[in-house]
Amino acid sequence: MDTPELIPPHGGYRKLKSFQVAQLAFDVTVRFCDRYISKRSRTHDQMVQAARSGVQNIAEGSEASGTSKKAELKLTNVARASLEELRLDYEDFLRQRNLPLWDRGDPRRRDLVAHRSRAADEVARWVVARHATGTYPELSANAALVLIGVACALLDRQIASLANTFTQEGGFTERLYRTRRIARESPRRPSGPSGPFRPSGP
C-alpha cells in the first residue's frame, strides 16, 4: 500500500480563476471608489476592504490547504461573503442615485464576460466604448457587479468541491492517521546478515 502524501501540494492560488476575477474586481473597485465615493465616507473604505478581503482570503485559504482543508473551506467561505457584501454596496450605489441595475438578460453583461478583461484598464476601456448606452457611473458600477457575479459563481463551485473533498477524504488529521497506520503495517526488513543460510561446518 502506498503511503499517502501527508502534506499535499498547496498554494498555487494565482492560477485559480476565482482569485484572478476577484483580484480584477478589487482593482476595479479601488478605481471606482476613488472616482465616485468620497474618501471621507466610510463606504469608500468598506468597499475597498470588502474587495480586498475577497482576494486575500482566497489566497490564505489556498496556502492553508496543505495542513487544514477545514481552514481552506472556512476562508474561501469568508471570501465569498466579502464579495457578497461588496455586491450589496454597488447595488446600493445604483439604487440611491436612481441608476439602473442591469438585469440578467442585459446584453452588456454577456458582452463584458465575453470580453475576458484581465486588467482594470481593459474594463475601463470597455466602459468608455459603451458610453453611448449609459452614464459612466451606471456602466462602471454594473461592470463591477458583473465581475463580482462571476467571482461569486466560481467560488460557489469551489466551495462545493472543497466540501465534497473534505467529506470524502477528511483533512490533515485523517491523513496523519492513515500515514501512521500504513507505516506501522508496512513489513519490516529482517535483521541479521543477508544472503542464504549456511550451516556451520564440523
**Which region among 27-41, 97-111, 113-127, 159-173 has the lowest average model confidence (pLDDT)?**
159-173
- pTM: predicted TM-score of the whole model, two decimal places: 0.79
Instruction: Find the distance separating the first CA and the last CA of the chain, reported in whole Å.
Output: 45
Positive or negative: CA dihedral 131, 133, 136, 142? negative
Q: Tell me the C-alpha distance between 46 and 118, whole Å.
A: 24
Positive or negative: CA dihedral 108, 111, 116, 119? negative
Q: Tell me the C-alpha distance between 89 and 76, whole Å.
A: 20
**Which region among 2-6, 78-82, 90-94 has the lowest average model confidence (pLDDT)?**
2-6
| pLDDT, tens digit (0-9, with 9 covering 90-100), for 165-179 | 877 775 545 544 455
pLDDT of residue 1: 44
pLDDT of residue 92 exceeding 90, the answer is yes
How far is it between the farthest Cα atoms of the chain? 109
Copy the grid coordinates of residue 197. 543460510
Q: Tell me the C-alpha distance between 9 and 29, whole Å.
A: 32
- Give domain limits for the chain: 13-171
- Average pLDDT of 60-71? 86
